[in-house]
Every structure is written in structure tokens, then in C-alpha cells.
A = this chain, B = another copy of it.
Amino acid sequence: MTTTTGTTDAPEGESEARRATLRDVATLAGVSIATASKALNERAHVRESTRDRVLAAATELAFTPNQAARSLTSGQTGTVGLIADDLDGRFSLPILMGAEDAFGTGQVSVFLCDARGDAIRERYHLDALLRRKVDGIIVVGARTDARPPLVGRIPVPVIYAYAPSTDTTDVSVVPDDVQAGRDAVSHLLSAGRQRIAHISGDAAYTAAQERATGIASALEAAGLELVGGSAQFGAWSEQWGRGAAQRVIDQYPEVDGMICGNDQISRGALETLQRSGWNVPHQTSVIGFDNWEVMTTGPSPTLSSIDLNLEQLGRTAAELLFESIQGQVEPGIRRITPRVVTRESS
């Protein structure tokens, strides 16, 4: 671990004498960051034995929270701004909830501002948040493509979530879409599927490319290739899923598994298969990405999906913000591991 961070200007010579972080204290004491914070700030609701363990760990590591961290964790000025770009909140709201859970109920308020992908709105909201002395900023993108960092001097730490910053000295946390693609393949292989098609969304999205990369590499490792030879890219819609699935079953009636770029495509594919008299999952399994529950639990059969763990992503963003306030975070991109949610379609 190095001390190079996007938020401090520590001279190189300090790299051996890295200050202990709240995370170090929490790890040594075997508690969560939130609990460590509560214990150090002498709040209620921490058992005495836990507090003793945390204080012992803090002493052992010579932990000294800086003023900003103290004010944030003391709850007196605990406010974090979340600047979101997705109009429907599908990605930003789970991330907001995960962040609030990591900070602890009633300890930090997260204020969400909707920038709608508009740089002028983003700047305006950022200024409004900074004037109100938020302790940190989380920027949530509408898609996982890298985005330029916020401009200007920003006196508080910034974490980029879902969409990483193009500046490698920033701290970003994103879903692991390559792993998500691999997991979709492993899931179908473990169900005995061998002739798998991939109906993806818009090829211009990093998420579409990364999922396709993971799918291709997992199939190659298993000595297989995609039905039709390559992924079919199109749109993130049910309509595209219906049409693309029709072409797949017309041309490749041997298909026994479909990996769809998101839950909407998955739903469209399911509809085409059912209308054409195919039994899902007996003749072919279907799995999508995102695990958007209203889409996956609505139809019958319900749809399996790769969940990108956005609440976990939000919790990690909050923890990185905590640590950044202490000036101790390595820059770069963290990737959150997805999980398979198995339902009736696979």
C-alpha cells in the first residue's frame, strides 16, 4: 500500500510512516467502521467490551482522527452530498441506501441532487452542497463509462461511484461487469447448458462490452463458443430482446441458454420463447443482468439475474469517503463482486 492519494499532498518521504486509518482500527478490533467510529466518539449503543476493544486497537495503532473525520463521525455536521445522473434513480438510490447504511442510521444524512447528466446542473449542485459544508461528495453516474472528474478546487473528498473518474488519481468504485459476464456463463454451465447465445444491449456502453468480454473468456475457458459466433448488440429494451431472441431460435434451434444484456432484454426474450412454444427453463435457460426486481419477479417464470450489488457498492463508497477524510486512501478503481440470483428461468 502506498500513501499516494487523490486528496492529500503528503510528501513521498512519508510513505513508510503511513498513519493508521479508522478502517485499520476497525479491522484490528474486529468491528465495522461504523461501530469503530461510534466507539471512538463515545456514543450510546456500543457495548462497553466493544468500546474497550476499539480503544485498545486505536492506542496500539496510534490512531488520531483528523478534525474533518471527527466532525463527520461525531454526527454534528454529518452530511454527504450525492450527485446523481440517472433520472429514474435505478442506480443512484440503491447506492444512496448502501452509503447511509455504512455511515449508520441517524449519523450521516446523504443529500441527493439530480444533475441529469448536465454539466451546468452538476456544477450548480456541487456549489450548493459545498456552501452547505457537506463533509464529502459521492458522484454516481448513469452508466459505467468513465467520466471526467469534477472541476475546480473541491475542499472535501470526492468518491466516484458506478461511473469511474478518468483521472487515475481519483478514487472510484464500480461494478465488476467482466466478472458478472463470467458468472452468467458459470451459472448456465453448471445447469448443463452448452449452446449459449448472448443478446446484449447498446454496444456503446462499457457495461455491454465488459459483460461480453467476461462471457467470451468464460466460454473459451470451457472450450465452448457462443451460438452464432458472437454477441448480438442492440438496445436495452424488451422490444430488442423479443426480436433478437426470435432470430436466435429461427437460426439456431439448438440453443439451450440465453444470456441477456439486462433484465428488460431478458424479459423480451422470455416472451418470444413462450410465444414460440419453448419451455423455459427446460428447453432453454434465460439469465439477465442488474436484478431489477420489478422486471425479474413480475413474469412467470421469474427471471434469474446477475445482481451487481449496488448497495454494497454504496457502502464501499461511504467507507472510502470516511477514509479519504483522513487522507489515507489509495487512488484508483475498486470493483465490487457481483452475485448470481437464481430464479425459475434457469
Q: Is A264 an interface residue (CB 8 A)?
A: yes
Contacts of A121 in B (CB 8 A): 105-106
Q: How far is the CA of A325 from the CA of B120 in the complex (A)?
A: 27
Protomer copies: 2
Which of the candidate stretches A6-14, A85-93, A143-151, A202-210 sits at the interface with the other chain?
A85-93
A109 touches B93 (CB 8 A): no
Per-residue 0/1 for A171-209: is the Cβ within 8 Å of any B Cβ (1 yes, 0 no)? 000000000000000000000000000000000000000
Q: Is A267 an interface residue (CB 8 A)?
A: yes
> Of B78, B89, B113, which contacts A89 at CB under 8 A?
B89
B124 touches A109 (CB 8 A): yes
Which of the candidate stretches A33-41, A62-70, A220-228, A293-301 sits at the interface with the other chain?
A293-301
Q: Is A165 an interface residue (CB 8 A)?
A: no
Q: Is A167 an interface residue (CB 8 A)?
A: no
Contacts of A58 in B (CB 8 A): none
Tell which of A77, A106, A121 has the most Cβ of chain B within 10 Å: A106
Q: Is A218 an interface residue (CB 8 A)?
A: no
User: Which 10 pairs between the two chains have the least Cβ-Cβ distance?
Assistant: A89-B89, A109-B128, A111-B111, A112-B112, A238-B298, A132-B132, A106-B124, A89-B93, A109-B125, A79-B128
